[in-house]
Structure formats: C-alpha cells, structure tokens
A = this chain, B = another copy of it.
C-alpha cells in the first residue's frame, strides 16, 4: 500500500470513523498521491474520486485539453458516491470519504450487488440523483421520485486509476448496472455535433457533460449548460450569505459564455429566469420568515432500516455549521420504508431578515 496513513493521521489530514461496527480511516485533506476522500479499510484503499476541471468555452478549450479522441458522457446533477464491498457488506462512500448511511441503506434498491461476487475488489463510481436525497435541493430532471444511481466509472481497490472505457461498458452490460448516458466518441473538431447535444441537454434542463480521454491517466474536463448555472443560483439562495461573490459571478459568466458558444444571443427569457433564480428563493425565505420566523428547507428521504435514518441524522448534525443548522421533523413508517423528514435551517439569512424587517432604521 502506497498510502502513508500514519503520517496523514499525525498531520491531521486523516481521521478515524466508524459505521455500524465497521472501523475505517478517511483522508480529509489532499496528501501526496492520495486525494481527499480516500478511505482505508483494513489496509484496503478506496481512492478518492479525483476532481474534474471545468472548461468554460468548448472552443478553444477542447482542442487545448485533448490532443486526440475522447468520450462524452452526461454529467448528472446529484451527489458523488463510490460503492464497494468491505467485510462482506456493500457500503457507499461520500466524496469526502465517509460512509453515507442513506446511500448504503438503499444500495440494494440502486444496483445489483451481485457484481461484487464476481468482482470483489471493484469500486463503483457514480452519481445518486433524485428529489428524495438528503444532501441537495436540486435534482436531475429525469428522476421523478426517490433516488437513482448513475454509474460513470469503475476503479479497483488499491488502485487510483479508472478501468478503460471498453472494460467499463462490458461490466455495465454484464451486470445490468444503471449508467449515465454515453454520447459517444468525438475529436476536438466535432464541435458542431457536441454543441448540438449540449443545446438539447440545456433545453431539457440537464446539467452538462464530462469529456474523458480513454486509458490510464486520460484527461478529463466538465462543461455545463446555461440552465444548470441558473439552477445553481436558484438552489443556493438560502446560503447566499455564506458564498463568495465569485460563486455567482462565475455562474453568470458560464451562462453568458454558453449563449455565446451556442450563438443563442441573449433571449429575454433567460434574463427573466436568472432574475427569478435570485428572487424566488429570497421571496420564499421572506414568506417563511413572516409566517414561521425561521428560514429553512425541508428534505425528505426514505430508508429500509430505521437505525440508518438515525445514523444519517447524526452524520448531518456533525456536519452542520454555525451557518446551517439541522432539525429533524419526523421519522415514520411508510410501507416497506422509514421516511425521514428534516429541515436545514439558515440562521445567517434569518438574522439578516430579522434585522432588515424590524421596522427600525438600517444604516448601510
């Protein structure tokens, strides 16, 4: 094992964690050759999913980033997981390397786990998306209820590389695993075909794509639609005070550049939707503040096991900050599932509204 866990622990770049009696370590920071999110189970390393750089304009960035052909796959609006089997049970790791109680609980609903009988050291990398998830307000438009998994890569334990494209598709097919849409193989010159696909995705309110060079160490780049940028702004209205101005500016710029690239001009409807993205959230926050004196967003997700819902609440409470509080609403049986409802409460926005609406004078 090339991973120096002891040194990372001493440097406080790694920490110990447990889940249902399973002890493991995770890298909370990048270390040399070990990305943040890497988890270690009894000396078995599940490498962190590497960050993928973004391009803001297909032309000239595609030609600059890729010398030859690359695959183009859909980027799904959800949260990243790595799924593997340790000590005879399948677990799902978050981007940060924690075992996610929710995803782990629902794994049998998300995929055929028998893949691990044939491939015990496989690490399945994918996105979990859907309205009933515990992390994100936004969701891929093509998942109408609950959550679904969309696999986009495979790794093996103790290896940081991804399996090649052909091998990936063979495994996906053989085990009938759900995957992201693969738009095929392109070269940088195929700009028109690539733009057409992205225009369609944008029209369907889908997030964007990832370009992947095949082979070990192949380059990757992501690119998102203008509607995805608007959706980002809409869903972060509540934590707007915690975000740097760059967050909004870079999204508005992405949006302007997408229109440029697509030669779409500046349709009025886009201005309208950007304005609405800023206004909707704050108008809703104001309504909540007037009627309930707190600004919050309610999340709902369902579990097979009651205790996993409780683990999830503990996990989220530990991750809460002074900017976002967590408050459980209910946990009740519905058919075969336990349905958890909880609120994320936003004290900073609440405080600002209180100050603004006190009827007193504001000096700004």
Contacts and interface: CB of A to CB of B under 8 A. Distances in A.
Contacts of A356: 56, 250, 253
A51 B253 contact: no
A55 interface: yes
A360 B64 contact: yes
Given A249-B352, A253-B356, A55 B272 contact: no
A170 interface: no
B250 A279 contact: no
Interface in A32-89: 51, 53-57, 60-61, 64-65
A57 B253 contact: no
A54 to B, nearest CB: 4
B272 A252 contact: no
A145 to B, nearest CB: 29
A275 interface: yes
A283 to B, nearest CB: 5
B241 A256 contact: no
Nearest to A270: B275
A52 to B, nearest CB: 8
Contact of A252 (B255, B256, B271, B278): B278
A326 interface: no
A171 B79 CA distance: 68
Contact of A272 (B256, B272, B286, B360): B272
A282 to B, nearest CB: 5
A279 B286 contact: no
Contact of A279 (B244, B255, B283, B362): B255
Contacts of A53: 360-363
Contacts of A246: 241, 352
A80 to B, nearest CB: 15
A220 to B, nearest CB: 9
A326 B245 CA distance: 23
Interface in A325-364: 352-353, 356-357, 359-364
Nearest to A260: B286
A268 interface: yes
A277 B240 CA distance: 18
A241 B247 CA distance: 10
A250 B60 CA distance: 38
